[in-house]
Amino acid sequence: MKLTGSSNKVLCLCLALFTLFNSCSKMNDLHDKYLKRGETIYVAKPDSVFAFAGKERVKIRYWESDPKSVKLVVYWLSRTDSMVFDIPVHAPKDSIEIIIPNLSEYNYLFELVTMNSKMENRSLSLNVNASSYGDQFRSHLLDRAMESYRWLDRNKLEIKWRGAIEKGVGCELLYDNIDGNRATRFVPMAENLTQIEDFEGELEMRTVFLPEKTAIDTFNTPFKSINIEPLSELELDKTLFKQWNPPQIPYTYYDWTSTIDKLWDNTPATQYLTFTPSGFPYSFTFDLGQTVKLKRFKHWQRIDRGVVYRIQNVKKFQLWGSATSDVTDDFSEWIKLGDFEVYKPSGLPWGQETDEDIAYATQGDNFTIDPNAPPVRYIRYVVEDSWDGAQNLFTVGELTFFQEVH
């Protein structure tokens, strides 16, 4: 059959329409495959996250503002371990906290992924690092050292600590108090002097550590016993001391820098210095401010070079006491506490001292009071001789008294 020009045009048009219709059908088939699955709704990852170290655990704090986020999955160890958490209803600005327990000691990388209630439509991950601490960290802990202790009163104990320990936050003290109970006291690491007002005995301590500043758990050393010797003597409170003079024993001093109160200012670098025109024996007196049974006292020379064991310094003296202020210069009214002589280790003649002599003088002489003497309050110091033998000028650096405690 022979086609005319018009027929050719019609045939070409038909072929073109068929091709176009066939192509559209295939394109619609591709779209229909995804439309049948429904619309995909993506979930946003957490807004931000922080992690805190702990004892075989880690705390994670995160912020989540997408209301479509219902579940949280936390992965660690390259996603070989994980936990799933429900995201509670909360205000977008509020943080949420979770605990990852039972973690071996390690520094972990945690991945946080949120999703909907069907555990679908996962978010991108948000990562955070945190450490878990355990026995390895604990095995390197050492207690803070106690440098010294002293009794301030019958039940008042003062402890002096050595320097702070790295990662240490303080010490926990356990002791028997005066009420017969076991008491606890926490001493911060920044505290260098600790006073326990109600101490009776049996002191134990342990040191508390924080592996990181923001960690949620502390570590402790084991409790250990601290040997505190029972109180047998007590240093008298020098703030109670004062000048006091009975009739016939006048008070004199060389100048205003050498007054009698220099005897109890807690330093032998200052001294009581007086001129005695009447010569030796010479008495001076003062008030302890309390009536006590004395056990011993410490006596310091003036320790300046050229003076120690030489000029001015007392060599021999007596100590007397009285429980009452109703006394005079009559020795029959006083109780003798002892005869004393300042010791020179080398025994060298006057004008010669060794380093040992100077060191000994710097530490002061310890003298024991007559144990049979009754309690006294008022002290009479009687100078009998000085190191240079001069009869009209003498000095004493410091005096410290200790009372007997039963």
Q: For residue 19, is it within any domain?
A: no
Q: What is the pLDDT of residues 84-108, one digit of tens each?
A: 999 999 998 999 999 999 999 999 9
Preceding peptide of 281 cis, ω within 30°:
yes
31: pLDDT confidence band, cut at 50, 70 and 90?
Answer: very low
Q: Evaluate if residue 364 carries a pLDDT over 90.
A: yes
Pair 224, 337 in one domain: no
Pair 292, 348 in one domain: yes
Q: For residue 41, is it within any domain?
A: no
Q: For residue 250, is it within any domain?
A: yes
* Residue-level pLDDT at 119: 82
Pair 253, 332 in one domain: yes
Pair 271, 358 in one domain: yes
Q: For residue 24, is it within any domain?
A: no
Structure tokens at 266: 């807690």
Q: Are 262 and 375 in contact (CB under 8 A)?
A: no
Number of domains in the chain: 3
358 three-state secondary structure: helix
* Residue-level pLDDT at 120: 80
Pair 122, 154 in one domain: no
Nearest CA among 233, 235, 171, 246 for reference residue 203: 171
* Residue-level pLDDT at 343: 97
Q: For residue 330, is it within any domain?
A: yes
Q: Evaluate if residue 21 carries a pLDDT over 50.
A: no
Q: Evaluate if residue 23 carries a pLDDT over 90.
A: no
Pair 183, 285 in one domain: no
Identify the residue with better confidence: 55 or 1.
Answer: 55
* Residue-level pLDDT at 12: 46
Q: Are 72 and 112 in contact (CB under 8 A)?
A: yes
Report the C-alpha gap between 86 and 96 in whole angstroms: 11
Pair 109, 188 in one domain: no
Pair 394, 257 in one domain: yes
Q: For residue 129, is it within any domain?
A: yes
Report the C-alpha gap between 68 and 45 in whole angstroms: 10
292: pLDDT confidence band, cut at 50, 70 and 90?
Answer: very high
For the ranges 179-183, 274-278, 287-291, the lowest mean pLDDT is seen at: 274-278
* Residue-level pLDDT at 9: 54
Find the helix or strand (DSSP H, E) in which 84 lies: strand 81-86
Please say whether the dihedral angle defined by the alpha carbons of residues 346, 352, 355 and 361, taken in this order, is positive or negative: positive
Q: Evaluate if residue 337 carries a pLDDT over 60.
A: yes
Last-in-domain residue among 230, 258, 290: 230
Q: What percent of the chain has pLDDT over 90?
A: 79
| CATH code of residue 168 | 2.60.40
Last-in-domain residue among 214, 230, 246: 230
Question: What is the chain's mean pLDDT, rounded?
Answer: 90
Give the bridge partners for 189, in sequence order.
Answer: none
Phi, psi angle pair for 58, to nearest 5° = -140, 140
| DSSP codes of every residue in 138-159 | HTT--PPPEEEEEEEETTEEEE
Pair 125, 208 in one domain: no
Q: Evaluate if residue 66 carries a pLDDT over 70.
A: yes
Count of beta carbons in the 10 Å neighbourhood of residue 322: 19
Report the C-alpha gap between 166 and 146 in whole angstroms: 16
Task: Give the rounded distance of the alpha carbon of 277 from its chain centre.
Answer: 55
Last-in-domain residue among 181, 198, 230: 230
Q: Evaluate if residue 10 carries a pLDDT over 80.
A: no
Q: Evaluate if residue 39 carries a pLDDT over 90.
A: no
Q: Are 97 and 49 in contact (CB under 8 A)?
A: no
Pair 185, 293 in one domain: no
Q: What is the pLDDT of residues 113-145, one digit of tens each?
A: 999 888 888 899 999 999 999 999 999 999 999
Q: For residue 139, is it within any domain?
A: no
> DSSP code of 313?
B
Pair 226, 252 in one domain: no
| 16-44: average pLDDT | 52
| CATH code of residue 94 | 2.60.40.10
Nearest CA among 264, 280, 263 for reference residue 272: 263
| CATH code of residue 324 | 2.60.120.260
Structure tokens at 383: 């100078």
Domain of 123 in residue numbering reads as 48-134
Pair 156, 200 in one domain: yes
Task: Give the rounded distance of the alpha carbon of 75 from its chain centre.
Answer: 39
Structure tokens at 144: 């803070």
Q: Are 128 and 59 in contact (CB under 8 A)?
A: no
Q: For residue 306, is it within any domain?
A: yes
* Residue-level pLDDT at 6: 53
172 three-state secondary structure: strand
Task: Give the rounded distance of the alpha carbon of 116 from its chain centre.
Answer: 50
For the ranges 30-34, 81-85, 195-199, the lowest mean pLDDT is seen at: 30-34
Q: What is the pLDDT of residues 229-284, one digit of tens each?
A: 988 899 999 999 999 999 999 999 999 999 999 999 999 999 999 988 888 899 99
